[in-house]
Amino acid sequence: DTGARLSGAGHPVTDHVEPAIATVTRGRSSGAVQSITPRRGLADLVLPDAQLAQIEEIASAFRAWPRIAEDWGFARKTTTGGVKAMFTGEPGTGKTMSAEVVTGILGLELLKVDLAQVVSKWVGETEKNMEEVFRQAEDSHAVLLFDEADALFGKRGEVKQGTDRYANLEVGYLLQRLEASDGLIILTSNLKENIDPAFTRRFHFVVHFPRPSVAERRRLWHLAFPPEAPLAPDVDVDVLCRLDMTGAGITAAARTAALAAADAGSGAIGMRHVVRGVSRQFQREARLFRPAELGRYAELLTDNGSAHA
């Protein structure tokens, strides 16, 4: 029974996360920084084994850094303290969630930087804003996340005018601040090539997040519906997992399906609702959706009024 199998898929979080998180000061979100209390653990990540191993290694490296720096003398051998990691890959492939998971493993707080509020057109303001962000992370011993950081950490251009020269000075400040930090800093980017090599060289970990495989999409579909969600037996994961979707896309499609079922007064989320959710997600991403990929369920698109070229 597909519905039963899906309903049995839970969202376990590592046992040691919640007690540690309980000690973290709440309500720190303000201005350019959003405070995130980790709720998900390694069991919630659907990634290839190599990437999962790197996620665990990042947490292990950060735990080990004080010992090798202070007791083993490595602080004298490197200009960059703490641990710096860069996550690259298409939107929706698990970069931000992985930052949350690493933070949860460590029992820390995650501070997500809103770059739109940090980067300023006014001379000196970007450095001022960035200094406040770094100080907040250091004072709270939090993990710092620069999400979609291409704008701030992008490649420097040729100096042709005063503003270009000042932009390069901002990059110099960031490089210096990264090196001085003893914390865990994670940067995400849709494309590694967008990031200035001067930054890339300073990262201890560079993890690429690929689009999920068929087997990974199967598991993502199982995780997309909470155990409490009523699922009809006709929900066909064998068909759904063949559709090229990211984890975030699958989660969004499942939510749309649940909303459609609840609004219609249905007793369960059926395949027709999931097909609608998938169709709407392809529309949101402005991607071409071929009904033939649904096989015998393609007719449900017409029933939903969701068919499109």
pLDDT in tens, 245-273: 999 999 999 999 999 999 999 999 999 99
What's residue 29's pLDDT? 53
What's residue 6's pLDDT? 46
Domains of the chain, by residue range, sit at 11-209, 214-304
What's residue 47's pLDDT? 98
What's residue 124's pLDDT? 75
Tell me: pLDDT of 27 over 50: no
Closest CA to 257 of 223, 228, 281: 281
Alpha-carbon distances, residue 274 vs 23, 84, 255, 257, 280 (angstroms): 40, 39, 9, 5, 10
What's residue 304's pLDDT? 58
80 pLDDT band, cuts 50/70/90, is confident
pTM of the model: 0.81
What is the CATH class of 214-304?
A: mainly alpha
Answer whether 180's CB lies under 8 Å from 140's CB.
no
Q: What is the mean pLDDT of residues 78-98?
A: 92
307 pLDDT band, cuts 50/70/90, is very low
Name, of 8-17, 41-50, 161-170, 297-306, the range with top average pLDDT. Answer: 41-50
What is the CATH class of 11-209?
A: alpha beta
Q: What is the mean pLDDT of residues 15-27?
A: 37
pLDDT in tens, 119-146: 776 667 888 888 999 999 999 999 999 9
Q: What percent of the chain has pLDDT over 70?
A: 82
What's residue 159's pLDDT? 39
22 pLDDT band, cuts 50/70/90, is very low
Q: What is the mean pLDDT of residues 81-100?
A: 95
C-alpha span between 253 and 278 (Å, rounded): 5
Number of H helices, E strands in the chain: 14, 6
Strands (E), 114-183: 143-146
pLDDT in tens, 35-72: 999 999 999 999 999 999 999 999 999 999 999 988 89
Both tokens of residue 285?
């991403």
What's residue 303's pLDDT? 60
Work out whether strand 33-36 and strand 110-113 pair parallel, antiparallel, or are unpaired: antiparallel
Strands (E), the chain: 33-36, 83-89, 110-113, 143-146, 184-189, 205-209
What's residue 76's pLDDT? 81
pLDDT: is 149 or 183 the higher one? 183
